[in-house]
Amino acid sequence: MVLPVSMARGESNAGETSTSGDAPKNGADNGPVRMEALSPAEKPPTFVMRGGPAGSARLVFLHGMCGHALGYAQAFQFSAAKKGKLVAPQGDKPCQGPWASWSGDLESLDARIVAAFRSLGETGPIDDVVVIGYSQGALRAEELARRWPARYTRLVLIASPRVSSPRGFDRVRSTVMMAGERDRQDLMKQGAKALAKAGIPSTFMVIPEATHGAMGPTPEKTMGDALEWLFAHDTERSEPAKGDAP
């Protein structure tokens, strides 16, 4: 399927970019940074970063309810590439048309993420992954970090429907909470304070001019700033966060 950036649910002011429907071929990692479907046969699709240059980190983007992964990932693909390879799976619970949400099947989601990084040439442990989740995707990002703490260690949570709790974030190294300028912000601000109080580096950032589901007019700069903060304030943790159950 070929989808322009502007078709991502809630996305606006983004240039039109498309993905190839062909299976990866030799040389697929050459050329400019771009997001492509991992395989035309995979349903739902998983979009992966091709081309370069790209950093060494691993990043995942999880869209929100009845959203589409491709447009969101394309909106900040160059900022993501400065840090590493980006993987953006499409939700497994279909909505109308190309849109989708997330079921509660974390095992399948984790398996898709691991398989995607393997396809990009990763041979060692798939760990220390940055998860960026928007709305419902933010909930899934938290759940992944609690279920597989060694794998998912840095979080960017955007417009979550609930306040984030440090409970179970035993290995989370840093977090960024975000919300649109024209969206509800109190939950994300409360979450940032709760995580910081528990000893997890955390901050709150506003997405300029954005309503719920949107990335605003400057997603590359906005997400680039968030990722810079996330890595600059990284701290390795091996003990449970304060207030966590033993």
pLDDT tens per residue across span 67-112: 999 999 999 999 999 999 999 999 999 999 999 999 999 999 999 9
Instruction: Note if the bond before 44 is cis, omega within 30 degrees.
Output: yes
Provide the percentage of residues in the chain whose pLDDT is more than 90. 82
pLDDT at 17 over 80: no
Name the residue among 85, 170, 92, 79 with its Cα closest to residue 130.
Answer: 85
Whether residue 29 lies inside any domain: the answer is no
pLDDT at 23 over 50: no
Give residue 172's domain range: 37-232
Whether residue 201 lies inside any domain: the answer is yes
Q: How many CB atoms lie within 10 A of CB 163?
A: 16
Q: For residue 158, what is the domain's CATH number? A: 3.40.50.1820
| Choice among 103-107, 112-116, 237-241 with the minimum mean pLDDT | 237-241
Whether residue 238 lies inside any domain: the answer is no
Whether residue 240 lies inside any domain: the answer is no
The total number of structural domains that make up the chain: 1
Query: For the sheet containing 202-207, what is the strand order?
Result: 34-37, 46-50, 84-89, 57-62, 129-134, 152-158, 174-180, 202-207
d(CA 5, CA 11): 7
Q: Are the C-beta atoms of 170 and 240 separated by less than 8 Å?
A: yes
pLDDT of residue 30: 77
Whether residue 57 lies inside any domain: the answer is yes
- What is the per-residue pLDDT across 172-200, written as a single tens digit (0 to 9) for each? 999 999 999 999 999 999 999 999 999 99
Instruction: Note if the bond before 53 is cis, omega within 30 degrees.
Output: yes
Question: Could you tell me the CA-to-CA distances from 36 to 30, 69, 86, 169, 194 in Å, in that order?
Answer: 13, 11, 11, 32, 37
Whether residue 242 lies inside any domain: the answer is no
Provide the percentage of residues in the chain whose pLDDT is more than 70. 84
Whether residue 30 lies inside any domain: the answer is no
The identity of residue 18, as a single letter, is S
Q: How many CB atoms lie within 10 A of CB 185?
A: 17
Whether residue 47 lies inside any domain: the answer is yes
